[in-house]
Amino acid sequence: MQTPIIFVFGILGNIVSFLVYLAPAPTFHRIVKKKSTEGFECVPYVVALLSSMLWIYYATLKSNETLLITINSVGCFIETIYISIYIIYASKHARLRAIKLSLVLDIIVFGSILLFTLFFLQGPQRVEVLGWISVTLSASVYIAPLTIMKQVIRTKSVEFMPISLSFALLLNAVMWFFYGLLLRDIYIAVPNTVGFIFGLLQIILYCIFKNSKIDYAEEHKLPTAIKPETTSNCEQIHPVCSLPIQDDQDFDITVTVSVENGGENVVEPQQSTVDSHDQPN
């Protein structure tokens, strides 16, 4: 029987997990609007659907796991919508890949696990095997952001690591960890321990690099353009800033003339002196 504190953590876990499931919604709104998947991958959503189905199956084998069933049922519904939208708007090659991946993971793999545990395992052994399969899959989902964390460290930029999603995943892991801990269910607590560690690492990386501003050209030793110099006497920017011309000042103009000489170009400088008073107004 669940105590009130376990029920509270279960409800909070449902709420946070629901928000995490909705996180990709803007991406799919963009896909529908542009009628193109634009190179987005379907793998995370196919794997998330498999994970939700496995947790529903696991919860049905145990008592007092209603809250685990509710959120993963919602997850299955949302992930199915995501995958359907992806298949509709993907290119031919990406569509075939998404269909094959969904058939392999969400039907063949899940069906094989279901049949194997039903016909070859009994009682507690069935729960144990299914529990560790779910733990492994859930832990792999939490470990997936390692590539993003590596990119943050390499580029010293958090541009591609949204802090809101990282914080939501951290909070989600905390809620389900305490839910599993209080229920004494290691199969729920263990993967969320992994999720808590990696979520906390993402938050730490964000705090370290959020104010980092790196000059890309300087970092990669790229040549930079020479900025024109200016002085207080110049109203406009020029490659070389000369002193302003006074009304009564004579100045020299150097003209370069190209003269053809037997098929060759000969450059002859000519110099003339112009009186500024003779210039038209």
Residue 213 is predicted with a pLDDT of 56
Question: Tens digit of pLDDT for each residue in 14-49?
Answer: 999 999 899 889 889 989 999 998 878 888 899 889
Question: What's the sign of the alpha-carbon dihedral 40, 29, 22, 170?
Answer: positive
Q: Where are the beta strands (DSSP E) in the chain?
A: 251-261, 264-274
Residue 247 is predicted with a pLDDT of 41
Question: Tens digit of pLDDT for each residue in 127-160?
Answer: 999 999 988 888 877 776 677 788 888 888 877 6
pLDDT < 50 regions, the chain: 215-261, 263-267, 269, 271-281
Q: Can you give the chain as a three-state secondary structure string?
A: CCCHHHHHHHHHHHHHHHHHHHCCHHHHHHHHHHCCCCCCCCHHHHHHHHHHHHHHHHHHCCCCCHHHHHHHHHHHHHHHHHHHHHHHHCCHHHHHHHHHHHHHHHHHHHHHHHHHHHHHCCHHHHHHHHHHHHHHHHHHHHHCCHHHHHHHHHHCCCCCCCHHHHHHHHHHHHHHHHHHHHHCCHHHHHHHHHHHHHHHHHHHHHHHHCCCCCCHHHHCCCCCCCCCCCCCCCCCCCCCCCCCCCCCCCEEEEEEEEEEECCEEEEEEEEEEECHHHCCC
CB atoms within 10 A of CB 40: 18
Residue 1 is predicted with a pLDDT of 60
Q: Which tokens is 1 given?
A: 């029987």
Global pTM? Answer: 0.69
Q: Which tokens is 167 given?
A: 């914080």
Residue 63 is predicted with a pLDDT of 78
